């Protein structure tokens, strides 16, 4: 693995509550990514970061925000969770010098 | 229009056979191509990356890229039951654009 951990690994929350997912990496990689994976849709990019405090939107960013205050941590926040955000969320990083992404173990989020 | 298309399968092959997985993509500006394997309930793991036309071999795996046809494939020789998984094709334009197919499920029967 690329030294990536995600927390929590499983979470059940209610509609309308805020949720924050954490991605932590130990390899000092510059680029970090948040994806969601849903049946029939594959992996879709939510947000990415290209350095501390440098973030940008992916293709499915509505309803999500991110922050990166340290190189090793990339946080994904659902300000007010909705049932459509029930999904498996993966964090990824790029090893230096290539576009090869390596994924964390994932967080399964259920919004009831 | 989906950026990356894969047949969802399942693709069933007998143990020891060659499994052939295919992927097409829509944007001719794509520069990098990847195959990931994903076991049920687990995260995707990188198998192969390929950047130029032709074949790239790594053990039992061969990736093939044809940019003119916008086509990338993965061949798995001597398929094993442990190869049973979903295989994801991904393409990249640069560090901020990655598109994944929805995956092909492979079943290797003993």
pLDDT value at A110 more than 60 = yes
Calculate the alpha carbon distances from A105 to A88, B18, B77, B106 in Å. 10, 29, 28, 21
Q: Find the CB nearest B102 among A40, A50, A98.
A: A40
Q: What is the pLDDT of residue B83?
A: 98
Q: How far is A56 from chain B (nearest CA, A)?
A: 9
Please state which of the ranges A53-67, A98-112, B4-18, B92-106 shows the lowest mean pLDDT. B92-106
Q: What is the pLDDT of residue B8?
A: 86
Whole-number Å distance between alpha carbons of B16 and B78: 4
Whole-number Å distance between alpha carbons of B63 and B80: 18
**pLDDT tier for residue B2 given thresholds of 50, 70 and 90:** low
Select from B31, B97, B100, B101 the residue whose CB has the most chain A CBs within 10 Å, as the one to mutate to test that interface: B100
Q: Is the peptide bond before B10 cis (omega within 30 degrees of 0)?
A: yes
In this predicted model, what pLDDT tens digit does every residue of B32-66 receive, in sequence order? 999 999 999 999 999 999 999 999 999 999 999 99
B 60-99 → A contacts, CB under 8 A: 88, 90, 92, 94-98
Q: What is the pLDDT of residue A67?
A: 97
Considering only CA atoms, which of B96, B46, B43 is closest in space to residue A32? B96
Instruction: List the single residue in A with minimal CA-CA distance to B103.
Output: A42
Considering only CA atoms, which of A42, A95, A50 is closest in space to residue B44? A42
**pLDDT tier for residue A2 given thresholds of 50, 70 and 90:** low
User: DSSP code of B44?
Assistant: -
Give percent of chain B with pLDDT exceeding 90.
85
**pLDDT tier for residue B95 given thresholds of 50, 70 and 90:** confident
In this predicted model, what pLDDT tens digit does every residue of A27-65 receive, in sequence order? 999 999 999 999 878 899 999 999 999 999 998 999 999
Q: How far apart are the first and last CA of chain A?
A: 32
B 14-53 → A contacts, CB under 8 A: 31-32, 34, 42-46, 49
Q: Is the dihedral of CA A79, B3, B6, B42 positive or negative?
A: negative
Q: What is the pLDDT of residue A1?
A: 56
Instruction: List the single residue in B with minimal CA-CA distance to A104.
Output: B43
Residue A46: strand, helix, or coil: strand
Instruction: List the single residue in A with minimal CA-CA distance to B44.
Output: A103
Q: How far is A99 from chain B (nearest CA, A)?
A: 6
Whole-number Å distance between alpha carbons of B28 and B10: 28
Whole-number Å distance between alpha carbons of B37 and B89: 9
Q: What is the pLDDT of residue A96?
A: 72
Residues of B in contact with A104 (CB under 8 A): 43
- Mean pLDDT of chain A, nearest integer: 94
Considering only CA atoms, which of B85, B106, B70 is closest in space to residue B38? B85
pLDDT value at A94 more than 60 = yes
CA dihedral B100, A53, A57, A30 (to 10 degrees): -20
Whole-number Å distance between alpha carbons of A37 and A29: 23
User: Side-chain half-sphere of A90: how many Cα atoms within 13 Å?
Assistant: 21
**pLDDT tier for residue B77 given thresholds of 50, 70 and 90:** very high
């Amino acid at each position: 693995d690329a030294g990536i951990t995600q927390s929590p690994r499983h979470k059940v929350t209610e509609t309308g509550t805020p949720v924050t997912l954490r991605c932590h990496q130990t390899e000092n990689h510059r680029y970090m990514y948040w994806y969601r994976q849903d049946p029939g849709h594959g992996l879709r990019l939510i947000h990415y970061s290209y350095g501390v405090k440098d973030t940008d939107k992916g293709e499915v960013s509505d309803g999500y925000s991110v922050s990166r205050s340290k190189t090793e941590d990339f946080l994904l926040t659902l300000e007010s969770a909705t049932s459509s955000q029930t999904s498996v969320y993966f964090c990824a990083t790029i090893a230096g010098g290539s576009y090869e992404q390596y994924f964390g173990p994932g967080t399964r989020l259920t919004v009831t | 229009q989906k950026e990356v298309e894969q047949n969802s399968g399942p693709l069933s092959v007998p143990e020891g056979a060659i499994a052939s997985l295919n992927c097409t993509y829509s944007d001719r500006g794509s520069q990098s191509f990847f195959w990931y394997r994903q076991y049920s309930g687990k995260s995707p793991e990188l198998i192969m990356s390929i950047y130029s036309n032709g074949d790239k071999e790594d053990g039992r795996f061969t990736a093939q890229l044809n940019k003119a046809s916008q086509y990338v494939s993965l061949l798995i020789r001597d398929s094993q039951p442990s190869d049973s998984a979903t295989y994801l094709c991904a393409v990249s334009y640069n560090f901020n654009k990655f598109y994944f197919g929805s995956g092909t499920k492979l079943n290797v029967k003993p």
